[in-house]
Structure 1
Amino acid sequence: MSGSHSAPTGAIDYVEVEESPRFQELKRKHRSFVWPMTVAFLVWYFTYVLLSSFAPEFMATRVSGDITIGLLLGLGQFVTTFAITMGYVAFANRKLDPISSEIRDELEAKEPTA
């Protein structure tokens, strides 16, 4: 695909940018966080769903008063969601944003002024 495209004079060639090593690095780093977290969360989520469907006695086990294992695991879904979100924000701030800023700055420098 490289070499077969050409941007009009003065325009940014976004295909070239997408194929650049820096952009490829950005995508690789993004995927290195997103895919493992997605798989881990889906396993955790479907485990909860399967337990609630096929092990209702286990999920109804009281831990303290009216608090059951099912309730704790359900609340754990929310806690996990927030933890993953906070982890992603920290990861993006530390690893993705610097590369993204460099790419954006390079593109803005190339962009023709009107």
Structure 2
Amino acid sequence: MGNNKASKSVVIDYDAIANQESFKALVRRKNSFLWLMTAIFLAAYMLLPVLTSYTKILHQKAFGEITWVWVYSAGLFIMTWTLCHLYVAKANSFDKEAKAIIAEYENGGGRR
């Protein structure tokens, strides 16, 4: 059912939080991290069709009958998992910083 505890009514001034320098710094760090991750991901994935269509580099044999295109494609899976794990770890640190910013706001740091 519902929560029987009386919940306190908290009014949050989101504009005040958005104007805090610590929040702005967090947003800058988060955006630069996300743009970097996006650029790496897109570059690696877009390089595969370019290398297979316009060059013969990946068509050469790597191990027995396995060509480099298979190795590169397997590497894309590994890269994707690695980027996902890196993102989760970084997101957890961003969440901790966000909680600290909320605590700063609640302690009067973001109010005018």
TM-score by length of 2: 0.71
Structure 2 residue aligned with 1:98: 96
Residue 88 of structure 2 is aligned to residue 89 of structure 1: yes
Structure 2 residue aligned with 1:17: 17
Q: C-alpha deviations, 1:74-93, integer Å up to 9, x for none?
A: 11111111111112222233
Structure 1 residue aligned with 2:30: 30
Structure 1 residues 72-83: aligned runs within 5 Å: 72-83=71-82
Mapped to 2, the partners of 1:35 and 1:17 lie a distance apart of 23
TM-score by length of 1: 0.70
Mapped to 2, the partners of 1:35 and 1:104 lie a distance apart of 25
1:109 shift after superposition:
7.8
Mapped to 1, the partners of 2:74 and 2:36 lie a distance apart of 22
Q: Give the residue type in structure 1 aligned to 2:33.
A: F
Q: How many residues align?
A: 99
Q: Give the residue type in structure 2 aligned to 1:73.
A: Y
Residue 42 of structure 2 is aligned to residue 42 of structure 1: yes
- Where does structure 1 lack aligned partners over 5 or more consecutive residues? 1-9
1:108 shift after superposition:
7.1
Mapped to 1, the partners of 2:49 and 2:22 lie a distance apart of 40
Q: C-alpha deviations, 1:2-51, integer Å up to 9, x for none?
A: xxxxxxxx632212212221211211121231112221222222111211
